[in-house]
Amino acid sequence: MKYLINTPSDQRIKDMAVHDRPRERMVSGGAESLSDLELLAILIGSGSKERPVNSIAKELLEVMDKKAIVAHEDLRNISGLGMAKTTLICAALELGRRRLPAKKRQISTPGDIYPLISHYAGRMQEHFLSIALNGAHEVLSVNVCSIGLVNRTLVHPRDVLTSHLIQSH
C-alpha cells in the first residue's frame, strides 16, 4: 500500500541532500535518530537498477511487520535482495534477538507496553497491534493484525486471534 504523502522510498539515496542520507544522519545523530526504514536501508547498502534501496527496505519492513520471526525464505521473494543481503539481514535480526534480555517483560499498566511498540510511532499509516500475555502478565508475542490508512485501520477479531493461535503451536 502506498503512503498518501511523499516518502523517502520514492527517492534514490544519491538524489537526497547529503545531510538527509541515512548513513550521514546516523553518524551525526546516532542510530536511535533513524527510522526502521532508514536502518534497513543502511543494512541493505545499495539498491538495484530497477529499485532504489529505500523501496527494497520498505518492502522488507512490511514483511517484518507481518511476522514476529522472519526466516531466510521470507526474504528471498523480495526483488533486489540476493543471497548475501538476505543472509546479512537474517544474521542482524538474530544477533538483535540474542542480545535482548531473556527475561519476559511483565505488563502491569498500559505504560509498560510503550517500549514494545515505540518503533511504530513514526509510521505514516495506522497499525493495529495485538499483544498476547500469559497468566503472569508476561508478553508472549506482539503481532501486527492490520495496516490501514493515515488515520484509520480495519481489523476483524478473527485476525487478532488467528495470529496468536498460529504462534502458540
Q: What is the pLDDT along the chain (169 residues), one digit of tens a residue?
A: 334 444 455 677 777 777 778 888 888 888 888 888 889 989 998 888 888 888 999 999 888 887 767 888 888 889 889 899 999 998 998 888 777 765 677 889 988 888 888 777 777 888 888 888 888 888 888 888 888 888 888 888 888 888 777 766 6
Q: Which of 99, 123, 149 is the last residue of a domain?
A: 99
Say what the pLDDT of residue 131 is. Answer: 87
**Under 8 Å between Cβ of 152 and 90:** no
Residue 25 host element (H or E):
helix 22-29
Same domain, 135 and 164: yes
Same domain, 23 and 72: yes
Same domain, 88 and 114: no
Determine what percent of the chain falls in helix, strand and coil, rounding each to the nearest 5.
Answer: 50, 10, 35
Say what the pLDDT of residue 3 is. Answer: 40
| φ, ψ of residue 142 in degrees (nearest 5) | -125, 125
Same domain, 72 and 140: no
**Which pairs count as long-range contacts for 68-73, CB under 8 Å and 24+ apart, including other chains?**
68/141, 68/142, 68/143, 68/167
Residue 152 lies in a domain: yes
Say what the pLDDT of residue 88 is. Answer: 92
Q: How many domains does the chain have?
A: 2
Domain membership of residue 143 as a residue range = 110-168
Say what the pLDDT of residue 23 is. Answer: 83
Q: Which of 50, 70, 99 is the last residue of a domain?
A: 99
Residue 137 host element (H or E):
none
Q: Tell me the whole-structure pTM to 2 decimals.
A: 0.60
Say what the pLDDT of residue 9 is. Answer: 53
Say what the pLDDT of residue 102 is. Answer: 55
The amino acid present at 112, given as its one-letter code, is D
Same domain, 94 and 129: no
Residue 2 lies in a domain: no
| φ, ψ of residue 147 in degrees (nearest 5) | -120, 120
Residue 105 lies in a domain: no
- The rounded distance, in Å, linking the Cα atoms of 135 and 123 is 31
Same domain, 20 and 87: yes
The amino acid present at 63, given as its one-letter code, is V
- The rounded distance, in Å, linking the Cα atoms of 36 and 57 is 9
Same domain, 52 and 116: no
Say what the pLDDT of residue 6 is. Answer: 42
Same domain, 40 and 94: yes
- The rounded distance, in Å, linking the Cα atoms of 161 and 105 is 21
Q: Which of 48, 75, 99 is the last residue of a domain?
A: 99
**Under 8 Å between Cβ of 56 and 80:** yes
